[in-house]
Structure 1
């Protein structure tokens, strides 16, 4: 009996420490309002600021799509637009700080330079409900990918979280 309690204690502590106002479902926080993380305002790290740009663009697009839970809204165009701005910000940050490096962002910049950002988004980030453009160069991208993106894994770093405005404003 005591051994079972001992094993379940960490789980009980985790559950009791959870904030009921922000929760994860399928790895996504739900809500109708996006809140930027505090370090986004104070940390000038080029990688972080590039992902801040992505996060703000994506959350704005999600709000434009709308619905009861904008945190779950997504579209192909929304993701492509956010990734383009991510890369534009990364390029601007690198111009300011030439020694900035990030393996994922540098690799994604190569994808864009090769002209395959749309194909990349469709291949690595696609959601079932997305409507994809008819003019994607899927075969050409797959051939390019085999040579340039071996063992590649996409990344998405959201700098902030979703919550319901009524929960935050009522504090």
Structure 2
């Protein structure tokens, strides 16, 4: 039986939370921690580990998904300054909001299944190629045709000058049809 290498990807995301851990006497400043929701993160990772182990997947890559959080300054114009996180200057911090996990495994398949997978892959590639050609056609058809100037009788399409607007439209259609193959 032939062996094939299968690959999957899983994306895990979790939220972050801010917890106040203290403040000054007149309550114009406070501080705290900005951390992930540990229980949510742990549960998602545990579920993924179970899924990967049950089906004999081998982790090949873990890529962090990052974001940032920031806080600015708040001013109270009624009676002096009021500050927020960061002692009146604000701050920014990078955070990891999740991961992408790539895993692989070797699987033995029958000749029929291998042939079926090959047909499906060929169909998928043909569909993607058709979609790419259609997108290029649509991009070309969206390119503007403009008069060369206020008193000019020439028209410009894709950097080329044409003696009439009709000639420029024909050139655009011709270029778009070439993109379709």
Q: Normalized per residue, which structure has more strand?
A: 2
TM-score, normalised to structure 1, is 0.21
TM-score, normalised to structure 2, is 0.20
Please tell me whether Structure 1 or Structure 2 has the larger radius of gyration of its CA atoms.
2
